[in-house]
Structure 1
């Protein structure tokens, strides 16, 4: 099992536990997993679609409209897939930091 999980390391740079989850989902069929991965534009989309997303990973979605400020541009999001433009994320995080430092 460990050997099979390790074989995926050069292909998908995620934790061994995350690779194991993917292998379970694909019935331990590495070729099927590789073929499925090739159908996606990027690894991050594949991981999100299959319920395995690397920690601290930021997703970038093609140009769209920010649901907060309605400005067009690239949207950024975390594992939870809440999406916003860079300016909205900056303002949100600054407000959270100010709130925490007030205590």
Structure 2
């Protein structure tokens, strides 16, 4: 099989890739972010307690208190701080199949 190059084909040029810089507003940086766990009908209370202990290092009593808040009120704020750390916590909670979100405090 032969490949031919068209006669009018000059040297090929490739545009340099554009790098998009992620910009965050001052509000994104300054405001604390909250990791919120929402109630779901699937996970057992003992399982949720164990996940809170593993992910956040909470003692059993604190993990149970948050688990009961999720169960009784539909949600609980488990952690507050910088956005990047909150994103990591939410990903870890999703890995345990818990319903978690990251919200701006305030």
Same fold (TM > 0.5): no
The TM-score normalised by the length of structure 1 is 0.27
The TM-score normalised by the length of structure 2 is 0.27
Pair member with larger Rg:
2
Relative to its length, the structure with more helix (as a share) is: 1
